[in-house]
Amino acid sequence: GIQVEQSPPDLILQEGANSTLRCNFSDSVNNLQWFHQNPWGQLINLFYIPSGTKQNGRLSATTVATERYSLLYISSSQTTDSGVYFCAVVPTSGTYKYIFGTGTRLKVLA
């Protein structure tokens, strides 16, 4: 089946710093979403981005489907950005279920 790998696995930043999180997938996909899991366990939708670029405030994402990767950019990080970031993909072949990556654990220090 499809493999979804995220890097880096862990990231520690000072407040105000920028970061780039990466999601690589081993096969073609129809859908891709980025999620933030906050320290309370809630999974929050960030982007639905099977291709192209989107921006929402300090966050932006780019997916290059032909090269099988997606990037999540966080600028001017805040302590509330801490948590785990997951990308999830729906493979082109198969059913409509998301395959989640292993996640990037981000800690932003004040």
Partner 1 sequence: DSGVTQTPKHLITATGQRVTLRCSPRSGDLSVYWYQQSLDQGLQFLIQYYNGEERAKGNILERFSAQQFPDLHSELNLSSLELGDSALYFCASSRGQGVAKNIQYFGAGTRLSVL
Compare residues 16 and 39 and give the one whose CB is closer to partner 1.
39
CB of 51 to partner 1, least distance (A): 12
- Choose one: 9-17, 25-33, 57-65, 68-76; the region binding partner 1 (CB under 8 A): 25-33
In whole angstroms, how far apart are CA 101 and each of 34, 57, 78? 10, 24, 23
Residue 68: both structure tokens together: 């099988």
R_g of the chain, CA atoms, integer Å:
13
Task: Map residue 81 onto helix, strand or coil.
Answer: helix
Cα–Cα dist 85/4, whole Å: 13
Compare residues 74 and 88 and give the one whose CB is closer to partner 1.
88
Question: Taking the CA of residue 4 as centre, how many other CA atoms within 13 Å lie in the half-sphere pointing to its CB?
Answer: 22
- Choose one: 19-27, 31-39, 53-61, 72-80; the region binding partner 1 (CB under 8 A): 31-39
103 lies in the binding site for partner 1 (CB under 8 A): yes
42 lies in the binding site for partner 1 (CB under 8 A): yes
41 lies in the binding site for partner 1 (CB under 8 A): yes
